[in-house]
A and B are shown apart, each in its own frame.
Chain A
Amino acid sequence: AQKITQTQPGMFVQEKEAVTLDCTYDTSDQSYGLFWYKQPSSGEMIFLIYQGSYDEQNATEGRYSLNFQKARKSANLVISASQLGDSAMYFCAMRETNTGNQFYFGTGTSLTVIP
C-alpha cells in the first residue's frame, strides 16, 4: 500500500482564494511526522510546514496551515489568500520513527494560481 497518497495530480485556484491540497497517509506507528514541501519550476524543494503525530494543534506557518485529522489519517495543506508565486508542485511526506525513520513522499499535486 502507498504510504502517502495525493489524489489530486493538478489543481487550479483563483488568486486570493484559499485552496486545500489533499494528503492521506498509511502507518501503524504511533509516532511519526508529516511534512509539506513546495517545488517551484526552478526545481528546489522548499520546506513549508511540519506536524507531529502527537501535536494536538494543527500546524500553521503564515498562509499555510495543516489540517491534521489523525483518525482519518489525513494531513491536508491549506493555502490561504493564494498568490501567483504559489504555483508549484506540492509534496506531502511522512517520516516514521519506529521503522527505521524511513521517509516517504507522495507523488505531488501541481497547483496553478490563476490571476
Chain B
Amino acid sequence: DAGVIQSPRHEVTEMGQEVTLRCKPISGHNSLFWYRQTMMRGLELLIYFNNNVPIDDSGMPEDRFSAKMPNASFSTLKIQPSEPRDSAVYFCASGTNYYNEQFFGPGTRLTVL
C-alpha cells in the first residue's frame, strides 16, 4: 500500500492567495483527519471525517478554512485567503475506525509570505 498521500509536499504562496491541500487516504480506511503542526501550538486537530461526512470541525480556526471529502479516496483542505500565520505543516491521517491508530501522510509544508 502506498500509504496516505498528500500533495503538494511544499507550498509557498503570498498572503491573500487561495491554497488547496490534497489528501488521498489509505484504501479501505473510513476515517480521515486533518492536522496542523506549528512550533507554537504543537499538533492541532482541525477536522475529521467518518465515511466522508464531517464529524467535528471545531478545530478549524476560522471561516477562511474549509475541508471537503467528496468521496472515500480524496479530501481537500482549502485556505482562502491565506495569511502568514497559516504557515505550518499540515498533516492528513486516515484510520479504519475510531479505536485504531491513525496513519499519517508525509505532510504539506505551507509557507505564506
Contact = CB atoms under 8 A, between A and B. Distances in A.
Contact of A45 (B99, B100, B104, B109): B104
Interface residues of B, number: 21
A44 B107 contact: yes
A46 B102 CA distance: 9
Contact of A43 (B33, B55, B89, B93): B89
21 contacts: A33-B99, A35-B102, A37-B104, A43-B107, A43-B109, A44-B104, A45-B93, A45-B107, A47-B103, A50-B100, A52-B99, A91-B43, A95-B99, A100-B55, A100-B56, A101-B56, A103-B48, A104-B45, A105-B43, A105-B44, A106-B42
Chain A, interface SS category: strand
A103 B55 CA distance: 12
Interface residues of A, number: 22
Q: Please classify the interface of chain B as helix (H, G, I), strand (E, B), loop, or mixed, using the class held by over half of its residues.
A: strand
Interface of A: 33, 35, 37, 43-47, 50, 52, 91, 95, 97, 100-108
Interface of B: 33, 42-45, 48, 55-56, 89, 91, 93, 98-104, 106-107, 109
A107 B42 contact: yes
Nearest to A100: B56
A35 B45 contact: no
Given A45-B93, A47-B103, A101-B56, A95 B98 contact: yes
A97 B98 contact: yes
